[in-house]
């Protein structure tokens, strides 16, 4: 059966993958309310298309931290990609490069920074978890720099792992043939079996719960790479991120895998954009499955979006070709949305092109004449 949209890959991945692997990718925290809301919130934003505009030429190119990319659609960090497909992160890196966009490699990748760099040219960011042992962190950042990675995406919403009940039920652990490749030489590359989720136990043992804003400053002393703060949902934290020297913000709720009942990222986006006041770019991940979703995020002030689950699902289904197809489908849908909304370049996408359920009515109903 021909795949005609991004969401269709989920069912194919479910058929192909072992239950423990699929559940790890698919599940959210606790009641999974935010998991549903990440999608549902997009569906409550409607378009206000402008007509009779010459849309014969559409330019989707943009720059992110000074790097020119073909479209504002990038790849978010997702862990353990070889659990989805034997080529894992290699396939994702090649697909991103072919599409002319950015891939973010997870700290918990099943391929190392050096291995991913060896796939060939491409603009790549590195997602960082801060371990209790800061020497490990410094070493990892240096390796990413040496391997030609262009930015650090610092995950700030995971002092502890969210409660993902599917992983607890499945006693989730990494398959025996896989390791956390970036940590292999540091005796941190394997995950023990546990009475609940092996990953939750690993995080409890290794990830630093004391992480605070001063560590964002510390990170700037050990690397010259720009730092994106990933996991911001409020205006308050946006202002601190700007003051702390962040190069950008990723509005993220960790794919709804951390704290349940936080808003959808698309609902939190405008608050963050307004607080950033144009001083640093704001990006979004979470729930993007259509080109229309990309347009909505940009209309609310995002400089670009990142996709996560669609990558691992398409990887499971068709390897590199699947990831290429996801990027191509999103690109074509986004281009079509721009054309049908009357926008020829990203700068023409404005807040006036959408209406949200938190907008005030644009036209006040006239008071009925007294009879």
CA 10 – CA 17 distance, rounded (Å):
10
DSSP codes of every residue in 319-367: HHHHHHHHHHHHHHHHHHHHHHHT-SBGGG--GGGEE-TTSPPSSPPPP
Question: Are 256 and 38 in contact, with CB atoms under 8 Å apart?
Answer: yes
- Dig out the tokens for 137 from the structure: 């962190």
Question: Are 310 and 9 in contact, with CB atoms under 8 Å apart?
Answer: yes
Cβ neighbors of 299 (< 8 A, separation 6 or more) are 349, 350, 351, 353, 354
Residue 192 main-chain phi, psi, to 5 deg: -80, 155
Catalytically active residues, by annotation:
254
Q: Exposed/middle/buried for 302, CB within 10 Å: 0-12, 13-18, 19+? A: buried
Pairing of strands 103-105, 124-128: parallel
∠46-47-53 over CA atoms, to 5°? 175
């Amino acid at each position: 059966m021909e795949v005609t949209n991004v969401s269709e890959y989920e069912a194919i991945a479910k058929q192909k993958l072992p239950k423990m692997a699929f559940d790890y990718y698919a599940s959210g925290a606790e009641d999974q309310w935010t998991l549903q809301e990440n999608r549902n919130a997009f569906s409550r934003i409607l378009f206000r298309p402008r007509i009779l505009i010459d849309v014969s030429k559409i330019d989707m190119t943009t720059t992110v931290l000074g790097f020119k990319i073909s479209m504002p659609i990038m790849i978010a960090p997702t862990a353990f990609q070889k659990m989805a497909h034997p080529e894992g992160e290699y396939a994702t890196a090649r697909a991103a490069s072919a599409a002319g966009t950015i891939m973010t490699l997870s700290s918990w990748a099943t391929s190392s920074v050096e291995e991913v760099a060896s796939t060939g040219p491409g603009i790549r960011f590195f997602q960082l978890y801060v371990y209790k042992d800061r020497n490990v962190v410094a070493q990892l950042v240096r390796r990413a720099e040496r391997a030609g990675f262009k930015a650090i995406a610092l995950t700030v919403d995971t002092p502890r792992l969210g409660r993902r009940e599917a992983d607890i039920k499945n006693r989730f652990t990494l398959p025996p043939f896989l390791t956390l490749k970036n940590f292999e030489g540091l005796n941190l590359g394997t995950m023990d079996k546990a009475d609940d989720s092996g990953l939750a136990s690993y995080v409890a043992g290794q990830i630093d719960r004391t992480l605070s804003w001063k560590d964002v400053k510390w990170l700037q002393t050990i690397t010259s790479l720009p730092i994106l703060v990933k996991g911001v949902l409020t205006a308050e934290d946006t202002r601190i991120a700007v003051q702390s020297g962040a190069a950008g913000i990723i509005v993220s709720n960790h794919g709804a895998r951390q704290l349940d009942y936080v808003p959808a990222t698309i609902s939190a986006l405008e608050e963050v954009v307004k607080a950033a006041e144009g001083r640093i770019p704001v990006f979004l991940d979470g729930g993007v499955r259509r080109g229309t979703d990309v347009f909505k995020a940009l209309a609310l002030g995002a400089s670009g979006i990142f996709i996560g689950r669609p990558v691992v699902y398409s990887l499971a289904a068709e390897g590199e070709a699947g990831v290429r197809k996801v990027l191509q489908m999103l690109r074509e849908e986004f281009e079509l949305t721009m054309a049908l909304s009357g926008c020829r370049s990203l700068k023409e996408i404005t807040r006036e092109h959408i209406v949200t359920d938190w907008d005030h009515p644009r036209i006040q109903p006239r008071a009925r004449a007294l009879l």
